[in-house]
Chains A and B, each alone.
Chain A
Amino acid sequence: MSSVSKFIRLFLASPAGAAGLLKALLRGTFTVFYYRLLKPRVRIAFPFFMYETFRVSGPGKVSIGKSCAIYPNMFDGVSIVTLDPNAEVHVGVGCSLGGVSIRCRERIEIGDRIMAGHSLIQDCMLAECPTARVNETMPREMPTREIRIGRNVWVGVQSCILYGTTIDDDSVISLGTVCYGAGIGEYQLASGNPCFRPVPISKLIKLQDMRR
């Protein structure tokens, strides 16, 4: 009931916005039924808002929690690619994804209520060659390790999250960051290419207060 009253309030405030929301919900519902019927390995929970294109390809498993939304960002929608039959992508509840491209070979776990811009989440070095061998010093197979992203993380535009990265709850990845095998703790800000030392956000807020 509360969602209906919220919608009525939105309609009174801006009819165009409400129409866009309805259109996104309709598009999302069509997508949910399309994947339920034709690709049962992709499970999308019902309230799914699609403002932009959404594509899933590849043989692996994908599950998306309820009331996720897909927004346009850099003229591009979300694409999820699983490159291996054993690959698994889990996206939590209430995420707002814009232009994210996910390429998974092993396992990617994304928590609840994530905000993400036009970024790349990839758990292998090269997406297109499975058993590349550069020379004898390199490992025989390209390294793949799972990515884990916690709750309420904000991922900035044009950032890359590469294999072996774990990001804890409430963290922020600033724009243009390349996270390569870094462990980013709880409530920290990561920046730089490659990102070496994440800074605790509570410290940054203290610094801001001191400047005032």
Chain B
Amino acid sequence: MKDLVAVIRGKIFLLRCRLFRKNIRIGKGLRLYKRLDVRGEGTLIIGDNCKICGITGDRKQFVTLYTLHRDAWIRIGNNADLFAARLSSRYSITVGHDVHIEESGIMDTDFHSIERDRGEPANENLQSCGVTIGDMVKIGARSLVTKGVKIGDGTLIGPGSVVTRSIPGSCFALGNPARVMNPK
């Protein structure tokens, strides 16, 4: 029953996007178990068979996909499972296929500069700040991915970690800043 409702909600969302919001492109088979909040003028591309949920036991959290600029884009591959993930993009966020993101935030900008006027952050551009997340990456609850990070294919990020540097593929990382560790 829940699955059927999710499929119908996804179809309605797809129809709304096609009619009113030309900047959103979503593939087939979207399932919406909870509210999906999309804001901003940038482009958003989602692949086929995506599943969008809240986290179990928490009624307040939902998936947010924000683009903060006209040129910003978020690209999510096929078969992605997003559980209360919060993505906010100023330049570009690329997420691969078969990812699993759980109650965590991904952002590719600092939002403000460290100077006193708190204006636009300096020295940020598309090359240095874009976030790339590979295929089959799994990100645990309450973790953060900051700007300019590349995560390789098949990596697992543990819960509660803050990723500030790039992490190679097929390993396990945990901590603040996230370091490669042996899984116990």
* A interface residues, Cβ below 8 angstroms from B: 55, 57-58, 76, 79-81, 83, 101, 103, 120, 122, 125-129, 132, 134-135, 137-139, 143, 160, 162, 164, 178, 180-181, 193-194
For the complex, give the distance between the alpha carbons of A191 and B80 in Å. 34
* 4 additional contacts (CB under 8 A) given A160-B160, A178-B161: A101-B58, A126-B140, A134-B155, A143-B183
- A126:B56 contact, CB within 8 angstroms: no
Given contacts A120-B159, A164-B184, A194-B175, contact A128 B170 (CB under 8 A): no
| Interface pair A193/B160, CB less than 8 Å apart | yes
B81 touches A76 (CB 8 A): no
Residue numbers in B under 8 Å from A137 (CB-CB): 170
Sampled A-B contacts (5; CB under 8 Å): A81-B57, A127-B102, A134-B155, A160-B142, A178-B161
Q: Which one of B81, B136, B156, B159 has the highest number of Cβ atoms from chain A below 10 Å of its Cβ?
A: B159
Whether B56 and A127, one on each chain, are in contact in the complex, defined by CB atoms closer than 8 angstroms, is: yes
Give A160's nearest chain B residue, CB to CB. Answer: B160
Chain A interface, DSSP helix/strand/loop, else mixed: loop
The residues of A that contact B60 with a CB separation of less than 8 Å are 76
Q: State which of A55, A126, A138, A180 has its C-beta within 8 Å of the C-beta of B174.
A: A180
Q: Which residues of B43-87 have CB atoms within 8 Å of chain A's CB atoms?
A: 53, 55-60, 81, 83
B40 in the interface (beta carbon within 8 A): no
Is the CB–CB distance between B102 and A160 below 8 Å?
no
Do A129 and B156 contact each other (CB < 8 Å), given the known contacts A178-B161, A180-B184?
Answer: no
Closest chain-B Cβ to A58's Cβ sits at a distance in Å of 7
Contact residue among A80, A83, A143, A178 (Cβ-Cβ distance under 8 Å from B184): A143
Bound form: Cα–Cα A198–B141 in Å: 24
Nearest B residue to A125 via CB reads B140
How many chain B residues sit at the interface, stated as a range, is 20 to 34
A128 touching B175 in the complex, CB below 8 Å, given contacts A122-B159, A137-B170, A138-B156 = no
- Asked if B172 is at the interface (CB within 8 A of a chain A CB), the reply is yes
Interfacial chain B residues near A81, Cβ < 8 Å: 56-57
Once A122-B159, A178-B175 are accepted as A-B contacts, the answer to whether A135 and B154 lie under 8 Å apart by CB is yes
What CA separation (Å) do A193 and B173 show in the bound complex? Answer: 12
User: Which B124-141 residues have a C-beta within 8 angstroms of A?
Assistant: 136, 138, 140-141
Answer whether A134 and B81 are a contact pair too, CB < 8 Å, given A120-B141, A128-B55, A178-B159. Answer: no
In the bound complex, residues from chain B placing their C-beta under 8 Å from that of A138 are 156, 172, 183
Residue of A nearest to B136 (CB): A134
CB distance from A48 to the nearest CB of B (A): 19
Residue in chain B with minimal CB distance to A196: B175
Contacts of B141 in A (CB 8 A): 120, 122, 126-127, 160
Chain A nearest CB from B183 CB (Å) reads 7
CA distance A76 to B183 in the complex (A): 31
- CB of A128 within 8 A of CB of B56, answer yes
Instruction: Please tell me if the beta carbons of A193 and B57 are within 8 angstroms of each other in the complex.
Output: no
Contact of A103 with B154 in the complex, beta carbons under 8 Å:
no
Known: A120-B141, A160-B142. A125 touches B156 (CB 8 A): yes
A125 — which chain B residues lie within 8 A by C-beta? 140, 156, 158-159
Asked if B113 CB lies within 8 Å of chain A CBs, one says no
B51's nearest neighbour on chain A, judged by CB, is A128
The verdict on A58 contacting B184 (CB below 8 Å), with A132-B138, A160-B142 known, is no
Q: How far is B130's CA from A198's CA once the two chains are assembled, in angstroms? A: 37
Interface status of B100 (Cβ within 8 A of chain A):
yes
Nearest-neighbour CB distance to chain B for A182, whole angstroms, equals 10
CA distance A125 to B161 in the complex (A): 12
Q: What is the bound-complex CA distance between A19 and B160, given in angstroms?
A: 38
B140 touches A129 (CB 8 A): no
